[in-house]
Amino acid sequence: MVGHRGAEAVAPENTWAALRAGFDAGADWLEIDVQLTRDGEAILYHDFTLYPKLRDPRWVRDLAWEELRGLDVGRWYGAPFAGEQIPRFGEVLEWARGRVGLQVDLKHGFQAPGDDRLESAALEAIDRAGMAGEVVLSSWDEVALMRVHARRPEMALAVNLPGRVADPAGRAAAAGACWVMAFWPQLDAGTVVRLREAGCAVCLNNLFTSDYREAVRLGVDAVTAADPGAARAALDQILRFAQDDRLGSKHE
């Protein structure tokens, strides 16, 4: 069970409130979005501009950490979360160590080709925290993943599939990834089998409760959920019914 942006259905995404909510709900991993400030600080933030949440058109990459650290990124979600601030990646790593795994989605955005500052900053922070074995790095930028793999072949990487592709296992292998992140229309049972035979774990992204039975049928390794507590309960119920059906069949 992977809590998407912490637990974005119950708290503002990528905040301490969302991280704690996801952990308290029993998520095995927490998915977070990481990007760089103008002065090279790795922070948790999904959008490339401040506009969607703060109605501020400035780009995150153009602002220094000192300009961002005091912003209220919780009030847009609801009054109980007023005052939530942007977490620094290094602090989140320290908090998560030994507690919960992190799927770190690197938000490269509109960086120039060959710009490796984001992955470099992420790797340095992970090493400082001693979290290399508890982190999976993912990205929509497969070239960036290739750079990470060339530098750190032991690091667990995940490819975000952009659509239904002919050879997802080949794409994962080219990027040095051992995880594939996909939405359920991109997968069928045969594709999941081929990915697992190629040594890839498969994570189904952003499922609604009605989709969990399909996740079980497909045999994926993990699911992401905006509300990991509700997702865990739904999956446990489906698996319990499936087990009861198998026991009933044996008795018959």
Q: What is the pLDDT of residue 249?
A: 58
pLDDT > 90? residue 145: yes
Task: Report, at the CATH architecture level, how domain 2-251 is classified.
Answer: Alpha-Beta Barrel (3.20)
d(CA 30, CA 115): 26
For residue 120, pLDDT over 80 is answered with: yes
Would you say residue 102 has pLDDT above 80? yes
Domain definitions of the chain by residue range:
2-251
The pLDDT tens digits for 177-203 are 999 999 888 889 999 999 999 999 999
Residue 144's identity, in one-letter code, is A
> Given this model, what pLDDT does residue 214 score?
86
Token digits for 122?
A: 């992420």
**CA dihedral angle for residue 115, residue 173, residue 28, residue 212, rounded to 10 degrees:** 120
**Mean pLDDT, to the nearest integer, of 25-51?**
97
Distance CA 232, CA 209 (A): 10
Contacts (Cβ under 8 Å, ≥6 apart) of 113: 143
Average pLDDT over residues 106-132: 93
Q: Please tell me the predicted confidence (pLDDT) of residue 244.
A: 65
pTM, to two decimals:
0.94
- Looking at residue 113, its pLDDT comes to 80
CA distance 57 to 208: 32
Query: How far is it, in rounded angstroms, from Cα 129 to Cα 42?
Result: 14
Give the pLDDT confidence of 82-91 residue by residue, as tens digits: 999 999 999 9
